Amino acid sequence: MFKALGDPVRLRLFSLVASHAGGEACVCDISDVGVSQPTVSHHLKKLKEAGLLTSERRGTWVYYRVEPAVLASMGHLLTPAAP
Amino acid sequence: MFKALGDPVRLRLFSLVASHAGGEACVCDISDVGVSQPTVSHHLKKLKEAGLLTSERRGTWVYYRVEPAVLASMGHLLTPAAP
DNA sequence: GCGCTGATTCGACGTATGCCAAAATAGATG
DNA sequence: CATCTATTTTGGCATACGTCGAATCAGCGC
């Protein structure tokens, strides 16, 4: 889990998904974190494999949301990034 | 910080220091984590640079202890590794 | 069925990272 | 001062990791 969040891009992606309205974020919403979109997808897949995110396809778009248990464990650790 | 704990060896080292008697551990106490001792020193230095550990030289031996603020932030996140 | 947009996978490249052996430093002890 | 143990630093190597471009897959609208 620490290894999954060790990469700055992944930490940013996780923080973005966690702080997005409704608790979920489409890939198209978070495609400007400084890397190309295939890389974003790659990192999201790693986060999903680590059990931190779950993905759900609704029509054309894919929505990611954080695993609730992880959110509970994080608690105030993420607060500086999720106001 | 997540990057510092991303490496399994560093996570193990941090956990060992955190769970050691007295809250501090000599380097000689934790020299069997699967890697050579210079590598242990290397990782301890990285953990110190990341602000997770502090080092204090007492005579011949060097004792490492965890930054209290980090311990408070971790809380129950480390409990499975620090009984 | 045919294009169109969005998302993922594949292949390859460059960089970063962890690892060890050997050498160098720090302090204690004779 | 010489020496010995404990720790850190250095140099170099192998591997893993992140990144991108191009190609591929998945639905949707015409």
CATH number, residue B58: 1.10.10.10
**B83 found inside a domain:** no
The domain total for chain A is 1
The DSSP bridge partners found for residue A66 are A53
Strand partners, A57: A62
Distances (CA, A) of A64 to A8, A40, A71: 18, 12, 14
Contact A47, A12 (CB under 8 A): no
Q: Which residues contact A61 (CB under 8 A, 6 or more apart)?
A: A26, A27, A28
Q: Are strands B61-66 and B24-26 parallel, antiparallel or unpaired?
A: antiparallel
Query: Which nucleotide C1' is nearest A29 CA?
Result: C6
- Tell me the per-residue pLDDT of B11-57, one tens digit each, with 9 for 90 and over: 999 999 999 988 899 999 987 899 999 999 999 999 999 999 999 99
Does the residue A21 lie in any domain?
A: yes
Query: Is residue B38 a part of any domain in this protein?
Result: yes
Mean pLDDT of chain A: 88
Whether A42 is covered by a domain: the verdict is yes
CA nearest to B8 within chain A: A3
> Is A45 a domain residue?
yes
Q: List the single residue in B5, B73, B76 with the smallest CB-CB distance to A2.
A: B5
Q: Percentage of residues in chain A with pLDDT exceeding 70? A: 89
Which structural domain range is residue A42 located in? 2-74
